[in-house]
Structure 1
C-alpha cells in the first residue's frame, strides 16, 4: 500500500501518478515496467516516488486495488441476481467481467496481468474472501463491508459446506477458475484471431459445471 505521504497529495497529482501507472503497466508486464517512465509521465522527481511507494510493485498492486472493488461489488450483485445461488452467481459475474477484461478500456493492463500471473500475484489481486488484517484506510473498511455483504447473500442451503471457512475455500477454487480461464482466453486469442469471448465463456461454464456436478458418470 502507498505510504502516508501519498494520501496527503493534491487530487490532481495523485491522478497524474495513477494515469502514469496505468500507461506503463498497460504497455508491459510488471517485471518489465520502468519507474523512469512512470515518474516522467507523472511529472514527479524519482525521490518523490519513493516517498509515496516502496517500489514499482507497491504502485502496481495499489493501482489494481483501485479497480478491484468494482469487481467485488459486481460479484455481490451477481449473487443477488442469482437469488443466493453461488454457482449461478459466478456464471453471471464471469459473463460480465470477461467482456470488460478482454475488451474494456483496461484490457491492455489486464492482459499483462493475467498472462504473467503466478501464485503470489494471484493472491495479491484476487478478492480476499478470508479474514483481512485491520488497517486504518477507509477503502479497506469498505472492502470488508462489501465482503460481508457477499457472504450474507450466499444461500448456504444450496451447498455442501459446513461453515464459512469451507465456503471461503470453495470461493477460492471458483476464483482460481475465473482467473485461469481468462488467462487461457488471452493466450487462445493471441494464437487464433477467431477465438471469441463466447468460446471463453463456454469453457468457463464447462469448468463450472464440473465443479458443481462432478466430472464422473454414474456407473
Structure 2
C-alpha cells in the first residue's frame, strides 16, 4: 500500500509513476525490476520514491491491484449469479480470468508475474487469499475475516463437504492453484508456439475443476462401462 504522501500527489504525477511502473514491470519480473528505471521514466528523484512507497514490491502489488481492481467482488458476484454454486461460478470466473490474462493488453506484465510466481506472490495476488491492503495489520486481519465470512454466506454449502471457513479457504486455495497453474502452462505453450489455442487451456482448467469436484477415480460401475466401451 502506498504511503499517504502518494495520494496527495497530483493526478498527473501519479499517472506518470504508474505508467513508469507498467513499463518496467512489463519488461522485467519483480526481482529484476529497477527502481532507477522507474524514477527516471516517472521523472521523480529517487528519494521521492521512498516517500511514496516502502520498496519496489509495494509499488508492484499496488500496480497489480489497480489492474485486478475488484477480483474478490467479481468472484462473489459470479458465484451469486450461479445461485451459490461454487464450482459453476468459479469456472465461469476463472475462464474470464484466463482469457483476460493471456490476451489482455497487460499480458506482458501478467506473463512476468505468473512465470515467476512463488508461494508469497500467490498469496498476494489470489483474490480469495489476500485481504484488502490497509496500513494497519489489525485492520487487514479483520477485513480478511469479513471477506471469508462473506464468501461463506454467498456459497450454497448443501452439496459441499466443508464444515467451516477454514475448509472453505482450503478448497478455494486448491481451485485458485488450478487456475494459476493453467495460466503458467499456457504461457509455456505460447512461448513454444505463438499459435497455441488458448481455448485448450480453458478445457484443461475445466478438467482440473471437474477432478476437484468429482474426483479422478472412476466408480466400479463407471470402470465397467469404460471397459465395455473399449472392447
TM-score (norm 2): 0.85
Please state if 1:46 is matched with 2:71.
no
1:35 deviation in Å?
A: 1.1
Q: Deviations over 1:6-25 (max 9, x none)?
A: 12222221121111111110
Instruction: Assess, with a 3 A threshold, how the Cα gap between structure 1 residues 194 and 180 changes in structure 2: closer, same or farther.
Output: same
CA RMSD of superposed structures (Å):
2.5
Contact preservation (8 Å) 2:75, 2:89: yes
Match of 1:17 in 2: 17
Counting only pairs closer than 5 Å after superposition, residues 12-91 of structure 1 correspond to structure 2 as: 12-91=12-91
Match of 2:164 in 1: 163
Contact preservation (8 Å) 1:4, 1:52: yes
Q: Distance in 1 between matches of 2:71 and 2:131?
A: 18
Q: Distance in 1 between matches of 2:44 and 2:26?
A: 20
Larger Rg: 2
Note the residue ranges of structure 1 that are not aligned, 5 or more in a row.
none
1:136 deviation in Å?
A: 5.8
Contact preservation (8 Å) 2:162, 2:168: yes
Contact preservation (8 Å) 1:78, 1:89: yes
Q: Which deviates further from its counterpart, 191-200 or 179-188?
A: 191-200
Contact preservation (8 Å) 2:82, 2:89: yes
Q: Deviations over 1:89-119 (max 9, x none)?
A: 1110111111110001211110110011111
TM-score (norm 1): 0.89
For these two proteins, the number of residue pairs brought into alignment is 218
